[in-house]
Structure 1
Amino acid sequence: MKLFQRLLVAPAALGLMAPLAANADVTAVSNESDLSSEVIQARVDGVEAQIGEIMAGQFSSSTKMSGKAAFITGYVDDDAETNTDEITMEYMYQLNLNTSFTGEDNLYTRIKTGNVGDHFVDKGQNTYLSAAKGSKNTDGDQTGNLSVDKLWYQFPVGDSLQVWVGPRIENYYMLASAPSIYKPVTKQFALGGNGSAYGSSTSPGFGAAWTQQVDDPMDPRFALSVNYTSKDGASSSKGLLGDNSRNFLLTKVEYGSPRWQVSLAAAKKDGHSAKAGYDGYFHSSLASSTVGEMTAYGLRAYWRPETSGAVPSVQFGFDTASFDEATAGQAEETEGWMIGLGWKDLFIDGNSAGVAFGSEMAATDIKGGGSDPSEDNSVWEAYYTFKVNDGVSVTPAIFGSSDVSGSDKDVNGAVLLTEFRF
């Protein structure tokens, strides 16, 4: 970015200084005395002022840009006797802009596009990829439109407190630290299970996180995060903190070090159904039909070895949720869990691998009695990432699920994910 600025500024600066250089040559040759040192200095000051104006109009030197592109090639077999299990190739493209005004704050903007559709953005059958991005027009066709995907401002208050506010943010960005160290291929394993406690869709919101100060950064410490998002925060008829808004309040308490952590999150959601309005995974019809106020808890724990290689890092997640306004036949209590194993530098330095399995959120208590046909569902994924160089990686992965929707159906898929980071 600095090189780009210099390429823009240099020609303009040379153009402004050329007349000054020409006049200096004439003075030297003719030995004229009409150009005094004061006049020359005045002209130099004028050149510097004009260069300053040019620089002011350029891209801020405090803005850093990075990005990535993903080629997604794969297929999904969902046991349906249709032609929807063909091999497809789709893409995702993302730019990250980080701007600091004080050296300690950050204005984050994420611009994103993609044409991913069908299986790889389908939450209902657990085949939504973490790298996927789709954009549709009013007819439902994938368009690949470029849009501002995330936008927020983060700044410190003292040494221990971080504050976030923004019109496009999600609750898990406003935490003292991430609840999970497992890197997923499918979104169902993000955030330690992406169950009921974490995962709000992009919304207006704000939050703060306090972290205990310790002498050694490797020492255990406490941290507390509290944040709020509203799915209807941009609506003039509902707005932030409105009585009819879909509000989401999340609190996370954690204790641990960079190598291990235990955390508990509590979430209160108003005006949500169990499936609509945020990125939780409730595929059971009994759970997804429940509407009203929900209270959810998410327990997370992880551990990573001191050295990379054969010993994997371990991630555990457990979620439970209760619904205050369930009617007969709807879920009053739900549960889900996951375990993820991750390896760094496996077989070859720079390469990595991951395996995860678990059970998606399903009803464990139904108002009026009964059982959920999805209660014994299972989900899994496995992958290996080849690091071609610092900017390119190739990841073959397989994934699947059974009985997630209660229809005794198996879903299996495979994908070859090629990522370019810059």
Structure 2
Amino acid sequence: MKLFKSLLIAPTALGLMVPLATNASEVNLNDISNYSDLESIDLANSFKKDEEVKSTLLAGGEGLVDDHSGGFSETTTASFSVDMVVGAVDSDDATTSEATTFDYQMGIGLSTSFTGEDSLDVAIDIGGGDGDAQSISATAMGLDATKGVLTVDGVTYSFPVGGASVIVGDATDISAAYTGACSYSAFLDYMGNCGTGNSVGVGTAGVTAAVSYAFDGGFSLAGGVTSPQSEILGETGVDMYGIEAAYTGEDFGVSLAYTDAETTTYLGLNGTYSFDVASLSVGLETEDADGSDEAFGWFAGLTFDEVGPGSLSLGMGTTANFTDDDDEYYVYEASYAYPINDGMTITPGIYTAESSAGDTTGVIVKTSFSF
């Protein structure tokens, strides 16, 4: 019953959000222009230091910049995003809370270039949850839990070497250099791996160096290594090595990746094909751990890009990789994303995840802002 009561709350939350977006569009631009007379207010000088700091940087494609007057390079950009989630669950597991919850996360992306071909990128996350006591809905959606504290989520620098692209950084996945072959618009964070989270989507977010090369005709190769921050390529901790080969055609793509995590290896295959009305994505992955039987997992998803004003996604897959002797459990999801305007999208969705403790069904409404 709690789940169905929560279904009544979600539309109410949407009703509160949409007027806010509507009112935001009714700003009187004429009133604002009255305050923009640069003859009386010099915005540029209001941030000017007593002593100008001169630096010599290469701005992207612009040549040598001799004077920034203490400001940012013209090639530096910032992007912002906010996700708000209202969710409730109904579970057979007695230890699972069925409370209706609200969670949020904010992301800040900073990017700059010094030569026009390179890119220095910094990702900053803010999440309201506690990682040790995050709600079921926040965990399912993969929201960041930083207790409201600004946290650097990754620092990377990418640059060309010959015809190849190199990426190095901290808190970075090897798969950042991979091409991949999945066009599915996932709702749950787990489904975003497209069934190959240990191979094509290899993570761990450590100290990483990776290189990729795109050949003519749609074929590409990539590979890299990642280590714990405490010791790079040392005897303590797990070092991971990965390689991927991919081909991208006009309406389809395929990707094959291999990961060696010392005591466990993974082999993953992704494929996607675009039809007139939808795109199909599939994923297969095998896991071979020392002292254990080979395990296998899979995924399949359909995304219909034009269903009314938005897009519809339907997906299912195994909750992990399972051996032949294991009981297999599956996760199912359906979601519908529709844009309110260029910077706001509302995505209601429902999912069911099986486990040995019983099934958990969740209803979540996510409102995403980008600016």
- 1:76 is the counterpart of 2:78: no
Q: How does 1:118-197 map to 2 (within 5 A)?
A: 118-122=135-139, 128-130=140-142, 132-135=143-146, 143-158=147-162, 160-175=163-178, 177-197=179-199
Query: Per-residue deviation at 1:194?
Result: 4.3
Q: Is the 8 A contact 2:137 2:362 kept in 1?
A: no
Output the amino acid matched with 1:303: Y
- 1:335 is the counterpart of 2:296: yes
Q: Is the 8 A contact 2:93 2:360 kept in 1?
A: no
Specify which of 357, 367, 370 is matched with residue 418 of structure 1: 367
- For 2:240, the equivalent position in structure 1 comes to 248
Give the 4+ runs in structure 1 shifted more than 6 A.
none
- For 1:317, the equivalent position in structure 2 comes to 283
1:259 to 1:67, Cα distance in 2 relative to 1, 3 A: farther
Q: How does 1:247-326 map to 2 (within 5 A)?
A: 247-270=239-262, 293-305=263-275, 311-324=277-290, 326=291
Specify which of 390, 412, 415 is matched with residue 342 of structure 2: 390
1:57 to 1:181, Cα distance in 2 relative to 1, 3 A: same
- Kindly provide the CA deviation profile for residues 82-105 of structure 1, in whole angstroms up to 9, marking residues without a partner as x: 671111111110011111111111
Q: Aligned partners of 2:278 and 2:45: how far apart in 1? A: 52
Q: How does 1:26-65 map to 2 (within 5 A)?
A: 55-65=68-78
Specify which of 219, 223, 232 is matched with residue 222 of structure 1: 219
- For 1:107, the equivalent position in structure 2 comes to 120
- For 1:139, the equivalent position in structure 2 comes to none
1:11 to 1:189, Cα distance in 2 relative to 1, 3 A: closer
Q: Is the 8 A contact 2:126 2:145 kept in 1?
A: yes
Q: Is the 8 A contact 1:187 1:194 kept in 2?
A: no
1:68 to 1:7, Cα distance in 2 relative to 1, 3 A: farther
Query: Per-residue deviation at 1:385?
Result: 0.8
Query: Per-residue deviation at 1:121?
Result: 4.7
Query: Per-residue deviation at 1:129?
Result: 0.8
Output the amino acid matched with 2:301: G
Query: Taking structure 2 as the reference length, what is the TM-score of the superposition?
Result: 0.79
Aligned partner of residue 173 in structure 1, secondary structure = helix
Residue identity over aligned pairs, in percent, reads 27
Query: Per-residue deviation at 1:12?
Result: 7.5
Q: Is the 8 A contact 2:338 2:345 kept in 1?
A: yes
Q: Is the 8 A contact 1:196 1:320 kept in 2?
A: no
Q: Is the 8 A contact 1:192 1:317 kept in 2?
A: yes
Q: Aligned partners of 2:180 and 2:221: how far apart in 1? A: 12
Q: Aligned partners of 1:400 and 1:63: how far apart in 2? A: 43
Query: Per-residue deviation at 1:244?
Result: 2.2
- Kindly provide the CA deviation profile for residues 232-267 of structure 1, in whole angstroms up to 9, marking residues without a partner as x: 2x21xxx11112221111111111225311111000
Query: Per-residue deviation at 1:164?
Result: 0.3
Query: Per-residue deviation at 1:10?
Result: 4.2
Specify which of 67, 73, 90 is matched with residue 80 of structure 2: 67
Q: Is the 8 A contact 1:379 1:401 kept in 2?
A: yes
- 1:9 is the counterpart of 2:44: yes
Query: Per-residue deviation at 1:337?
Result: 0.3
Output the amino acid matched with 2:126: T
Q: Is the 8 A contact 1:263 1:301 kept in 2?
A: yes
Corresponding pairs, count: 312
Query: Taking structure 1 as the reference length, what is the TM-score of the superposition?
Result: 0.69
Output the amino acid matched with 1:145: V
Specify which of 284, 298, 313 is matched with residue 354 of structure 1: 313
Q: Aligned partners of 2:198 and 2:208: how far apart in 1? A: 18
Q: Aligned partners of 1:121 and 1:90: how far apart in 2? A: 6
Aligned partner of residue 185 in structure 1, secondary structure = coil
- Kindly provide the CA deviation profile for residues 60-108 of structure 1, in whole angstroms up to 9, marking residues without a partner as x: 2211111110111011222234671111111110011111111111111
- Kindly provide the CA deviation profile for residues 133-162 of structure 1, in whole angstroms up to 9, marking residues without a partner as x: 112xxxxxxx2211111110011123x311
Q: Aligned partners of 1:295 and 1:83: how far apart in 2? A: 33
Output the amino acid matched with 1:398: I
Q: Aligned partners of 1:90 and 1:75: how far apart in 2? A: 11
- 1:205 is the counterpart of 2:240: no
Unmatched 5+ residue regions in structure 1?
17-51, 123-127, 136-142, 215-220, 271-292, 366-370
Kindly report the root-mean-square deviation, in angstroms, between the aligned alpha carbons of the 2 structures: 2.3
Unmatched 5+ residue regions in structure 2?
1-35, 52-65
